[in-house]
Amino acid sequence: MSFLRPTLFRIPVKPASLVAPATVALVTALLILIPFERSNGDTSGVISFLVSFLTFVAIYAIFTLGLNVQWGYSGVFNFGVLGFFMLGAYTAAIVTKQPASGNFTDYIGGFGGDLDLLPWLSSDEWLPHLVGLAAAAGVAGLAALLLAVPTLRLRGDYLAIATIGVAEVLRRVVIEETWLVNGTRGLTGVPRPLGGLVDSSDYKYLLLAICGTFLVLIYLLIERAIRSPWGRVLMALREDEMATEASGKNVFAFKMQSFVMGAAIMGAGGAIYAYASSSLTPEVFTHFFATFLFWAMLILGGSGNNRGAIVGAYVLWGFWTITLQFQSYDLPDLVETRMPYVRELVLGTLIVAVLLVRPAGLLPQRRQVSVWVERQLKRRPPSPSGSSGADVELSSR
Amino acid sequence: MIVLFFVWAVIDRRDAVMIGIVEGSILALGAVGLTLVYGVLKFAHFAHGDSMMLSAYCAFLLLSGVVTGSRPGVDAEVLPITVSDLPAASSEIWKFSFGYGLLIAMALSALLIAGVLVLLDRLVYRRLRRRNSGIVIFSIASLGLAIAIRSLVLIVWGPTPRKYTTVVRQNIHLPFDTTILADQLFIIAAAITVTALAYVLLFRTKLGKAMRAMADNPELARISGIKTELVIVLTWALAGALVAVAGVLLALQAQLDPQLGFVLLLPLFAAAILGGVGNPQGAFFGGMIVGVVQAVVVTFDFLSPGYKFSVAFVILILILLIRPRGLFGAKL
């Protein structure tokens, strides 16, 4: 019931910590300097490197935001991001692609040609993609709904185990059922949104703009939802489920909604990933890449803070890309073959270290009440005495 | 219906049932450790599967001394002294594919993994406990540790699957027209022995009583004078030893594969939840049931063997839907 206490009517003070800006600055500097050095000062090479880097940061930030809705805001515990990622990516791919043809391809669907419904604005360039995106979000949300019915009423960790299970089953289905989405051969040639509008050498800028737009839209959507009465119930039940239930809220329904909303966002992220990378193979979809990475991003960035989730995605994917750059240097054989695993080790220990040392992450969660209260505060600022450092970590979970 | 399934399986798919019992006894060992941690510390230990793989690799290191991944053209680095250097350590006992060296390696890696889990508790979980973190934070920390353990195994030994020996394994004929590998007989016997030891420790000693009291009500246990931190250390040690033996036996049955650890969580948790969380006997039978069902179901024509762990997931969902307290009730 902490949200009813009058102390909340203080304006959150900006964090004094310099850790977050310093980390971001360090990663940014390395991201510019290393490719600059490698390409011997070729600026255009550095720019195209940064553009593709930012594109993937935007995509991964969408997953981290989806996870933030589930874990950060409502304490719902999903270790199977991979499952919703795959559902979204493959759904979007089979919606937008042409039907299967040829000897070595076999997959269901392929509605790309049938979706050219509008006669204007060259709708074949974007309408199938929007339909695919909606279908991806819908399928992932539906899967979350089905999974939540048996598990969400039980202990939180049962849901986590069940989500690992869903992810593993889906991974097996994609590999074993070759008729479904072409098995291990994967799907290639997923059509790119608005691909015919610009020169192929400039397409990367457009792609960045598209991914960035979706990231901003999803960010605004979540921010708005979280500041609504609905969002306040979520945060209340994360802090104290029993008190929330005692105030007459249907805890199960709220948890369910946030789980489904997060999963749908992950599904949409999967669709955008499919459009951006244009080919999907099951080898990419490992538990490590598609689940742990996003957890590490969220924990590092600060769970319960959407900006933190985005910063976490930026910093970690930056770290990832920088270590990939190291591989182009002449390293000893012993180190070079182990680079990928060293990265994983850093990631695993990072999760533990952040939980121990800085549980709130780089950008700690701000106390936020509602749009209405914030508006009142702007009109009538409270007395400054005793209200410093009100940026409280809500870590008593 | 479950009983009918097992009767049919024993009649129709006897070989698969045997394999299922072998794999089930390995799962049972892991699940007993998991359920102990679950019962005493109240959180889902997601590093359990990876601890199992770590133990299998520790025994591999002790036996072969290989410390780097060998690739074509590069010889593996080998430690100067290994367990296999003991006199006649690798000469095969009876019809088994291993000598007493493996038993020593198994015991040593049980000690080692018990130590590792206790150390991780001191370094990580105790600090979280002191901060009164929620159980979910513990689970996320254990996920981070699972990633770290797995990547350590990959750094040291590389991703190629390995085996303890390449000796041809011998069959044994059992009554009722079944054959079984001698090694598999050893796996079942070892699993039952180790579980029996754990049972005695839990239900016939004061320490076990303290552990059960703590699982029942930590606050009451503390004010009754039970040294809760000591009980926690011993719980980790016991769980570590159990999971270590399970890991070595698993490597004996199949092969060492660093990627397997995380996926193993599915049958392990299915077994623990099937038996009732915090219930060691339940976890043992849960492990057996999951092992047999997995092995039998993948013999169906329409399912490829790749779905083995998916079967565990289906069992898990069914038990959560029908009887979330488990078949034998949640109790330690």
The whole-angstrom distance between A316's CA and the closest CA on chain B is 15
Flag whether residue A183 sits within 8 Å of chain B, measured between CB atoms. no
Q: Which of B233, B287, B271, B240 is nearest to B123 (CA)?
A: B233
Average pLDDT over residues B274-299: 90
| ipTM for this prediction | 0.87
Lookup: tokens for A188: 């290639």
Contacts of B276 in chain A (CB under 8 A): none
CB contact residues (below 8 A), chain A span 311-370, against chain B: 333-334, 337-338, 340-345, 347-352, 355-356, 359
What percentage of chain B reaches a pLDDT higher than 70?
A: 90
Distance CA A70, CA A303 (A): 10
Please, what is the average pLDDT of chain B?
85
Q: How many CB pairs under 8 A join A and B?
A: 138
Nearest Cα residue in chain A from B157 = A338
How far is CA A186 from its chain centroid?
Answer: 23
Contacts of B315 in chain A (CB under 8 A): none
Name the pLDDT band for B70 (thresholds 50, 70, 90).
Answer: low
Contact A161 B269 (CB under 8 A): yes
The whole-angstrom distance between B3's CA and the closest CA on chain A is 24
CB contact residues (below 8 A), chain A span 193-212, against chain B: none
CB contact residues (below 8 A), chain A span 62-91, against chain B: 75, 77, 79
Lookup: tokens for B185: 């007989």
Contacts of A166 in chain B (CB under 8 A): 313
CB of B219 within 8 A of CB of B207?
no
What does the pLDDT profile of chain A (397 residues) look like in tens digits?
444 444 444 444 455 578 888 888 898 888 888 888 877 777 888 888 899 999 999 999 999 999 999 998 888 889 999 999 999 999 999 888 877 776 666 777 777 666 666 666 666 778 888 889 999 999 999 999 999 888 888 777 888 888 998 898 999 899 888 888 878 888 887 888 887 777 777 888 999 999 999 999 999 999 999 888 898 888 888 888 888 888 888 989 999 999 999 999 999 999 999 999 988 888 889 888 889 999 999 999 988 899 999 999 999 999 988 888 777 777 777 777 788 888 889 989 999 999 998 888 888 887 666 666 777 777 765 555 444 434 444 443 4
CB contact residues (below 8 A), chain A span 3-62, against chain B: none
CB of A268 within 8 A of CB of A62?
yes
Q: For chain B, where are the alpha helices, taking DSSP H only?
A: 2-12, 14-41, 48-64, 100-120, 126-130, 135-157, 182-204, 206-216, 218-223, 228-253, 260-274, 280-297, 308-322
Name the pLDDT band for B68 (thresholds 50, 70, 90).
Answer: low
The whole-angstrom distance between A93's CA and the closest CA on chain B is 24
pLDDT of residue A10: 46
Contacts of A344 in chain B (CB under 8 A): 147-148, 150-151, 154
Flag whether residue A146 sits within 8 Å of chain B, measured between CB atoms. no
Distance CA A52, CA A362 (A): 24
Lookup: tokens for A148: 């939540």
Residue that has been written with the tokens 């510390």 in this structure: B41
Residue that has been written with the tokens 């059992």 in this structure: B174
Contact A172 B309 (CB under 8 A): yes
Contact A345 B317 (CB under 8 A): no
Contact B310 A396 (CB under 8 A): no
pTM for this model (two decimals): 0.88
CB of A306 within 8 A of CB of A65?
yes
Distance CA B240, CA A135 (A): 45
How far is CA B266 from its chain centroid?
Answer: 12
Q: pLDDT per residue over B122-168, tens digit each?
A: 999 999 999 888 888 899 999 999 999 999 998 888 888 887 776 77
Contact A157 B273 (CB under 8 A): no
Name the pLDDT band for B277 (thresholds 50, 70, 90).
Answer: confident
Contact B148 A161 (CB under 8 A): no
pLDDT of residue A4: 44
pLDDT of residue B116: 96
Give every CB contact of residue A140 below 8 A, 6+ residues apart in sequence. Answer: A84, A87, A88, A91, A263, A264, A266, A267, A268, A270
Residue that has been written with the tokens 């013999």 in this structure: B299
At residue B61's C-alpha, the angle toward residues B46 and B88, to 5°, is 135
Longest dimension (CA), chain A: 75
Backbone φ and ψ of A190, nearest 5°: -65, 125
